[in-house]
Amino acid sequence: MRHVHGRARRAATALAAVLTWAGLLAGTAGCTSGGGGIGSDIGEMLGKPPAAEDVIRITPDDGSKAVRPEKKLSVRVPDGRLESVKVVKSQDAQETEVPGRISEDGLRWEPDDRRLALAAKYTVDAVALDGHGRRSARHTTFTTYVPDERFIAYVAPENRSVVGTGMIVSLQFSDRITDRAAVERAVTVTARPSVEVRPHWFGDDRLDLRPEKYWKPGTEVTVALKLRDVEGAKGVYGLQHKSFSFTVGRSQVSLVDATKRTMEVRRDGTLLTTVPITAGAPTTPTYNGKMVITEMLDVTRMNSRTVGFGGEYDIPDVPHAIRLTSSGTFLHGNYWAPAGTFGRANVSHGCVGLRDVKGGGSDTPAGWFFDRSLIGDVVEVVNSKDKTVAPDNGLGGWNMSWKKWKAGSAVK
C-alpha cells in the first residue's frame, strides 16, 4: 500500500506540474489564420509546446523603457540550445549589430560589451530548440535611459537604408512634447529631386513627415535633426544634432482584394503576378486602406492573446512575417491552412496569409513576395468588411487627405 500511495503522489505531482506549465502559456505578437490554430481547451493545452518566453528568456524584459546602462543584457534557455541570436542597437538614426557570442553549451548569449548604450533602442531576435527539439522564436525590444532631462527622437527609416516609395519619415519622441512648434522647426527634410514634404503630429510624442504622393523612385532624402538644446517641454531639452538619409528604391505597390481573395503585385506600374491569398474571416476582417511595410521577420511567434483575442491560436514559427500595422496586422506565410484555402476562403484573424511551408520556402508565394519586398513598400487592401486603417496605426498616413495632413502641423 505504501508503494501504491507513492506512485499516486508522483502522478498527481506530475499532472500538477503539467497544468501549471500550461497555465503559463502566452504569446508574443501578431495574428494568423484561423485554419489549424491551436485550441484552448485543457486537453489540447497539455499537448502544446511551452510559450516562447518560457523557452527563451531575454533580459531586459520586452517593452522595457528607461533601462539603466548597468542592466545586464542576456539571452538564455533553461535547456536545449540557442540556434541564433541577433541584437541590433538603434541610436541617433544609426543601426548597428551588437557583437556577442553563444556559450559553448548553447544555453546563453551575452554581449561583448556588458554596458548598455544610453538613449538607444535595442531589438533582440532569438531562435532556440527546447529540450525536446521543438523550435521557438522570440522578438523583443527595449529602450534605455535618456539622462539629464533630455529627449530624443527614435527615427524611421534607418540611416542609409533603401526603402519603398511609400515610406513615411516617423519620429517617436522619448518624452511628451508640449512645444511642438519649436520641435517641428528643428526638423527639416530635403529631397533630390525636390518635393514638398510636410509634417503631421499624432499626439504629443510622434511626428510623421511625407510628400503629397508616393516618393519617386531614386529620390535621395536627408532628414536633419537639430534638436540639441531645443526645449520640447518645460525643462526638457533635445539631445540630437545630426542627420540621417535614405534612398527610395523601385516602386512596388500590392493590391489585396479581400472579396476576390487575390493580391496583385505591381512593380513600377507593371503587373508582376497575381497571388491567391486568405484575408480576415467575416467575424475578424482585415483593415481596408493603404498600409506600409515597417518590419520583416524571417520567422516569428504569433499568439492571439497579444492582439486582444482569447486563446484561438498560438503559432511558434510563422514564416515570412511582414508587419503592416502596429496593432498586429501582418502579411505572412501560412503553412497550416489547407492549400485549397488560398484564393477561396477568408479564414484569418485580420492578417493576409500567403501559402508557405513549415520553415519558410523560397519558392512559395510567401517566400517569393518576401524576397521582393522592401521596408516602405505599400500594401493596399480593398473590399474588406472592416473600416479603413487609422493613419497612426503603423505608417497609415497615406489614408489621410493632403489637406488634413497639412492641418496637423504645429507651425501655422
Cα 63 to Cα 66, 144, 322, distances in angstroms:
10, 11, 20
H or E stretch covering 381: strand 378-382
Q: What is the pLDDT of residues 142-158, one digit of tens each?
A: 999 888 889 999 999 99
pLDDT for the residue numbered 306: 66
Distance CA 25, CA 303 (A): 10
Q: Give the H or E element holding residue 366.
A: helix 365-371
Phi and psi of 10, rounded to 5°? -65, -40
Q: Which residues are catalytic?
A: 332, 351
pLDDT at 23: 38
CA atoms of 87 and 123, how far apart (whole Å)? 6
pTM of the predicted model as reported, rounded to 2 decimal places: 0.76
Give residue 12's pLDDT: 41
Q: What percent of the chain has pLDDT over 90?
A: 76
DSSP tag of 144 = B
* pLDDT the model gives residue 310: 66
Per-domain residue ranges for the chain? 150-249
CATH topology of domain 150-249: Immunoglobulin-like (2.60.40)
- Assess contact for 142 and 64: CB atoms under 8 A: yes
Give the pLDDT of the chain (412 residues) as one tens digit per residue.
444 444 444 444 443 433 333 333 333 445 533 333 344 344 335 556 788 888 999 999 999 999 998 899 999 999 999 999 999 999 878 899 999 999 999 999 999 988 898 889 999 999 999 999 999 999 999 999 888 889 999 999 999 999 999 999 999 999 999 999 999 999 999 999 999 999 999 999 999 999 999 999 999 999 999 998 899 999 898 999 899 999 999 999 999 999 999 999 999 999 999 999 999 999 999 999 999 999 999 999 998 676 666 666 789 999 999 999 999 999 999 999 999 999 999 999 999 999 999 999 999 999 999 999 999 999 999 999 999 999 999 999 999 999 999 999 999 8
